[in-house]
Structure 1
Amino acid sequence: MGQKVHPEGFRLGVKRKGEKVDYKSAWYSDRDFAELLGEDLRVREHIEKKLSRAGIADVQIKKAAEQGEIVIDIHTARPGIVIGKGGSEVDALRGELEKITKKKVQVNVREVSRPELNAALVAESIAEQLAGRAAFRRTMKRALTSAMRSGAKGARIQCGGRLGGIEMSRQETISEGQVPLHTLDADIQYGFREAKTQMGQIGVKVWINHGVADDTPEAMRR
């Protein structure tokens, strides 16, 4: 049986001098952990469903236990869709989230200036093209080239699923530059999306190296 660890798990809880650890949710509770975690899941599910066409890269949630308030940062490549005309869409979203959580909610919209360097948005773009029956090798190569031209130190793209028909399931991987997945000496961003195609369900995984690459022989062998 394979033992699989989410790539973000390699960097959780690790804090060097002068650095900070960024979690997708920032709150603490001694007694109501399960309830607050379920609240996070409902918030994320609603945002992803309502803003499925807005290019959502990340949703960060912060909670102030004393005031009972929630601050939600939505990182998106298309802020105009999230905000709407005169702020109508974001006001509607805030009201819906307050009904779900029964708390006061503050929504901040953060623009992702370079979507081609965001692993989640790259994975989403590939998944959408595959769902539109695009050739997967050409789509993967185009996304990889765009990321490298935009300044990435390295990138790796993996598509897995029934790419070869009903009888065989396989995965395709392409990479360029350095993407040492198990080192803390590089800022590796990970993204995952699923695409429903006529050939079945396809998973798209993207790793993008934004920082200093680890060029040691041990890292290069991984």
Structure 2
Amino acid sequence: MGQKINPTGFRLAVSRNWNSRWFASGPEFARMLGEDLKVREYLKKKLRNASVGRILIERPAKNARITIYSARPGVVIGKKGEDIESLKTELQKMLGVPVHVNIDEIRKPEIDAQLIADSITQQLEKRIMFRRAMKRAMQNAMRLGAQGIKIMSAGRLNGIEIARTEWYREGRVPLHTLRADIDYGLSEAKTTYGVIGVKVWVYKGDTLGRSEAPAAEAVPAPEREERRARRPEARPETKPAGRPAAKRAAPRRVEPKTEAKSEAPPVEAPKEEAAKPAVKRVRKVAAKTTGDAKGGGKDGE
């Protein structure tokens, strides 16, 4: 299911939050939901060139707070705040309640899925090759810290008669992992050949849920230091456990020693036997020399 479902809706209440935060019941819910859809469509058309990535709508106590996440906040504000004031008046007419508009800057638009999809569709409308636009966006995202990205384009690509779907992926994109922080964006390019849809998945790493805490923060620093200090003390206690193992191995070492002792006498015996004949030979040689001396004396006589 992770391959088909919307990644944002799949992770709601786990690692993602809603873009519309308010409560209503009965007919009020349908009315407020319709107003939210109209506000989002109006802002997308009005701020088409402002690189708007996300719009957050909150309704506390008969008021409305709208937060616009943009990579170009100066375009939204305008000169001396003229554009944002006109936005407030238009939104108050649509919602019928006082509206507060906040603007947050997106510091890394290259790894924002919605902004990547919008930039690719703008290039397709300018008749730029879709493969070039997709690969360029992937390279920029990976260069600025994304751990994985997947881009899919569908429609009459390059004006062919039969529509097809092509996608490219670089790095890891674990769509079925709930703790994975995956940003999803969808955009449509309206060309002379028809509509081309672009989907973008960006994997930014693993995140923890709202109720979870990192393992490093759960254990205080003093306790970790005590554990580290106890480790060297535990090592001497484990040494006696290793001594019986050495005693068990002792009989194996004794066997070659006894064999060496039994084999030692036959090695020394030939040395003694070799030494004895040497002495006899010396004696025989001495006897011969004495005999020769005597014989020599007789010959001389």
Q: TM-score, normalised by structure 1?
A: 0.88
**More moved, 132-141 vs 164-173:** 164-173
Q: Give how far 1:9 is off.
A: 1.7
4+ residue runs over 2 A deviation: 3-7, 164-167
AA in 1 matched with 2:83: E
Distance 1:5 1:206 in 2: 13
Give the direction of change, closer, same or farther, for the CA distance of 1:191–1:135 in structure 2 (3 Å limit).
Answer: same
The equivalent residue for 1:72 is 66
Q: Give how far 1:196 is off.
A: 1.3
AA in 2 matched with 1:39: E
**More moved, 197-206 vs 135-144:** 197-206
Give deviations 1:125-154, integer Å, cap 9, x for gaps. 000001000011011000000000000010
Gaps of 5+ in 1: 16-20, 214-222
The answer to whether the 8 Å contact 2:129/2:158 transfers is no
Is the counterpart of residue 45 in structure 1 residue 66 in structure 2? no
Instruction: Name the larger-Rg structure.
Output: 2
**More moved, 163-172 vs 118-127:** 163-172
Of Structure 1 and Structure 2, the greater strand share is in 1
Distance 1:113 1:4 in 2: 30
Of Structure 1 and Structure 2, the greater helix share is in 2
Distance 2:76 2:90 in 1: 14
Gaps of 5+ in 2: 208-301
Aligned-pair identity (%): 50
Q: Give how far 1:202 is off.
A: 0.4
The answer to whether the 8 Å contact 2:14/2:179 transfers is no
Tell me how large the CA RMSD over aligned residues is: 1.6
Q: Give how far 1:183 is off.
A: 1.2
The equivalent residue for 1:121 is 115
Distance 2:67 2:56 in 1: 5
Distance 2:91 2:158 in 1: 42
Distance 2:77 2:183 in 1: 26
What pairs with 1:12-31 in structure 2 (closer than 5 Å)? 12-14=12-14, 21-31=16-26
Distance 2:158 2:74 in 1: 39
Distance 2:144 2:100 in 1: 33
What pairs with 1:64-213 in structure 2 (closer than 5 Å)? 64=60, 67-163=61-157, 165-212=159-206
SS in 2 for 1:12: coil
Distance 2:11 2:107 in 1: 24
Give deviations 1:150-198, integer Å, cap 9, x for gaps. 0001000111111154531101100100001121131000001000123
The equivalent residue for 1:220 is none
Aligned pairs, how many?
204
Q: TM-score, normalised by structure 2?
A: 0.65
Q: Give how far 1:45 is off.
A: 1.3
